[in-house]
Structures are given as C-alpha cells and as structure tokens.
Amino acid sequence: MRKRTLAGALAGVGLGLFAGGNAWAESTYNIASIADFTGPYADIMKDMVGARHAVVDWWNDQVGKGLGVRVVIKDYDGRYDAAQIASLWPGIKAELNPIVTLGTGGPDVAALQGRLPTDKVPMIMATAGYGFAWKPDPWIFNPRPTYGHEAGAFYEWFRNARKVTAPLKVAIISSEASPAYVDIHKGADKYAKDHPDKAEIVEIIYTEVQPTDLTTQVQRVLRKGAQLIHIQTNTAAVVATKRALQALGRTDVPIMMSSHNGLIASGKAIGGLKELEGDFEVYGMAVPTEGKTAPHDFEQMLVSKYKAQINWTVATVMGLNQTMVALRAIEATAKKNGADKVTGEAVRNTMLSTPITSEQTFGILPNLTYTNEAPFPLSGLTVNIATVKDGKYTIVADKAPVPTIGKW
C-alpha cells in the first residue's frame, strides 16, 4: 500500500514537471492517516485504513484527475495513545506537510487540538464528537455529533419502541483510562440531567480498559432496575457484560453499543453474532448490512474496481466517511481557489462555508453543514440503529433524530 502511494506521489510530481504550466499539470497534496495498529483497536484497523486508501484511489481517478489534483495518503501508528500521537506529530508535519489529517479517536483529539490551529492543518474524524473538543473555531471536524447525542437519540427511540412511560433506567459501563471514555459517560449523564423525564442513569460502572469479569457490577445495576446497559467503549467491555448477563440468566436487558465496538465487531469477539440477539448499535452513519444500498454499492465498487482489501463492516464505513468528507472538502477548495492553491487553512475554510450533501458521500453520512460554533453540525443530524434479530444483522431504525443536549 505504501509503495503504491509513494509511486502515486512520484507520478504526480513527475507529471507536473514534465507538463510545466499547461492543463495537464498536477498538484500533489498529502494526507496524514493516524491509525492504531498495535493498540486496543488494532483488530478493526485493516478495514478502516483500507477504506481510507480505497477512497483516495477512487477520488484520484474519478475526481482529482479532472481537477489537476492528486492526493497521497500515508499511515502512522498512534497506538490510540495521546502521548504517542503528540510525539509523532512534529515528524509527520515535517515529513508530509499535510493539508488534512485523518484521526482515529479521542487520543488524537486530546493530543492535537491545541496544535492544529497553529499548524493550520484540519483533522477529520470518523467517530462521534467529544465534549472536551466542543469549542468554537474548530480545526477538528466530526461527521457525527457527540457520543452523548447518539446515546440520547437511542434512549428516546428505545423508550418509545418499548412504550416506556417513566424515565428509562440506564447503566453505563465506562473507564477513566481514556479521555474519550470519560467524555462518553459525561455526555450521557448530561443528557439525562437535561431530560429527567426521559432517562435516569442508575450507575456509571468504572472498569479497566479491557475488563474480563463484570458479573458483580452487572448484578448490582440490575438490582437497581436498569432497563438498558450502555457501552460505547470497546468490544472487551461488551463481551464481559454479555457474559455477566448470560450468567445471571437475564435476556431482557439489552446492551447499546457504538460503531467501533458494534454488533459485528463484538459478535466476532464473543464467538458469534447470535450471542448478541436483541442487542443494539447506534451511530450517525450508514449501517453495513448486506442489503442493497447506495453505501454498500459504493463499497462493492471499491472492491471490484480498485481492489480494496476491505470487508463491509462498521470500521470500513468509518474509514469511508472521514475520507469522503476530507476529499469533498479538498475538491470544493480546488474548484474555488485553483488546483495549486489548496492549503490546510483553505480546506478548513471550505468546510465552514460549503455543505457536504448526503449524495456526495453516497449516503454514508447525512447532510453536513458545519459552522464556527462546534466541530460537528449542531442541527439536522440523525442516527441509524441496528440489532440482531433471529440471528441476523438488521436495521431497525434510520434517520432517528438527534436530541438537543447542553454543553458539558
């Protein structure tokens, strides 16, 4: 993959030199791809990074060529560790001078949110947003609202679906080991405080990053009447919680997951999707079920035409979503400013002034309209919800509205 991107970079430079200033000249720009090949999300990174590279290949061929622009992408292992990412960044900046960076998760935000405005490099995430990054004048952009917003959307949908009239009683499995994990439960707790008639957090259980046995803790929250267990951290927490529920003989209390630790990923970790019958995942992007959809058709095209080494998974959708946002912003910037005038600052200005439609992302994301108020769109966002029903991965709700939550 790296040989291919290097060859692409050399080809772009060579063509520009050969053609001089004529219409065939090509401007080459770099994207830094921060990944996790050795940390807690290494198991999903092949699909996520593979999707990033595949979209770049497609865009260079189908869009960039006509604009006189070529994009080169290079991966760096951040290990999902803020200290590692902070130490890598000066070298990345010096080596690539990237116009965009693709992030993986909370550590990237924690490590770089103070650096990016000075370095004038926007970072595009694939994940939901974070409360600690909810600030004006963003340089980090999320295509989804915060995890708290996504959880709140699910609470409201689930409460209506189950015809619950009292506040929904929720237990949260979390950890204080990552800034993103802390933010997840803070956001959900803020939703409950803003909407006391709709949700009550009966307990936030703090565990190690990858717990093995949570039977005692799960039994405790069940005694408190928990109707839903909320886990937006990782697959290990889902497996430990599900095993606890099975040991306690409880099949009536579902688990709600996010994208990076969703049904397919957690199903593989626990030994089969059927183990998660009746559980749910929620996020503001396409659900990778096997039905014929515009996002699935796009992914299949990448596999057949561009030889993408990816599976149709949530991790793939995450890689597709952030890279598509980055490239559509680069595209709009080149059209507005010229192929030779695409900078990180110009791309960021484009994102704050030019909406990205759902059609431009082949339905992978809803319509996105960024403002200077937050790193994610503050209105018009929706979520999709999937479950396992009769052993099959199934969409149960699409375009469920995201509720309003105050900042925390």
Q: Is residue 3's pLDDT more than 70?
A: no
Which pLDDT tens digit goes with each residue over 51-70?
A: 999 999 999 999 999 999 99
Amino acid residing at 390: D
Asked whether 181 and 210 are in contact (CB, 8 A), the reply is no
Going edge to edge, which strands form the sheet with 27-35? 69-77, 27-35, 100-102, 123-124, 140-141
Asked whether 205 and 230 are in contact (CB, 8 A), the reply is no
Mean pLDDT of 82-92: 98
Please give the C-alpha separations between residue 47 and each of 30, 40, 52, 330, in angstroms, as whole numbers: 21, 15, 9, 23
Mean pLDDT of 151-167: 97
pLDDT at 181: 92
Confidence grade of residue 291 (pLDDT, cut at 50, 70, 90): confident
Q: Is residue 17's pLDDT more than 60?
A: no
Task: Report the chain's mean pLDDT, rounded to a whole number.
Answer: 93
Considering the entire predicted model, what is its pTM? 0.86
Residues 305, 307, 310, CA angle at the centre, nearest 5°?
120
Q: Is it true that 2-145+290-377 and 147-283+383-401 share their CATH fold? A: yes
Strand 280-283 with 382-389, pairing: antiparallel
Structure tokens given for 287: 């659900």
Integer Cα distance of 68 and 54 in angstroms: 19
Q: Is residue 375's pLDDT more than 60?
A: yes
Which pLDDT tens digit goes with each residue over 122-149?
A: 999 999 998 988 999 999 999 999 999 9
Which residues make Cβ contacts (< 8 Å) with residue 116, sequence separation at least 6? Answer: 101, 122, 123, 139, 140
pLDDT at 242: 98
Helices within 164-279 (DSSP H only): 179-194, 215-223, 235-247, 263-270
Integer Cα distance of 170 and 189 in angstroms: 10
Please give the C-alpha separations between residue 265 and each of 47, 55, 59, 234, 287, in angstroms, as whole numbers: 11, 22, 28, 9, 13
Mean pLDDT of 371-388: 94
Confidence grade of residue 83 (pLDDT, cut at 50, 70, 90): very high
Q: Is residue 31's pLDDT more than 60?
A: yes
pLDDT at 247: 98
Domain spanning 2-145+290-377: which CATH class is it, in words?
Answer: alpha beta
DSSP letters along 23-39, please? TT--EEEEEEEEE-SSS
Integer Cα distance of 85 and 77 in angstroms: 8
User: Residue 118 CB: number of other CB atoms within 10 A?
Assistant: 8
CATH number corresponding to 147-283+383-401:
3.40.50.2300
pLDDT at 12: 40
pLDDT at 20: 35
Mean pLDDT of 254-259: 97
Q: Is residue 115's pLDDT more than 60?
A: yes
Residues 212, 245, 44, CA angle at the centre, nearest 5°?
50
Mean pLDDT of 310-336: 97
Q: Identify the residue with better confidence: 199 or 14.
A: 199
pLDDT at 19: 35
Sequence spans of domains, the chain: 2-145+290-377, 147-283+383-401
Mean pLDDT of 376-397: 95
Which residues make Cβ contacts (< 8 Å) with residue 325, sequence separation at least 6? Answer: 124, 141, 143, 351, 356, 361, 365, 368
Please give the C-alpha separations between residue 349 and each of 21, 137, 253, 309, 360, in angstroms, as whole numbers: 27, 10, 46, 33, 19
Which pLDDT tens digit goes with each residue over 208-242?
A: 989 999 999 999 999 999 999 999 999 999 999 99
Integer Cα distance of 259 and 287 in angstroms: 9
Amino acid residing at 318: M
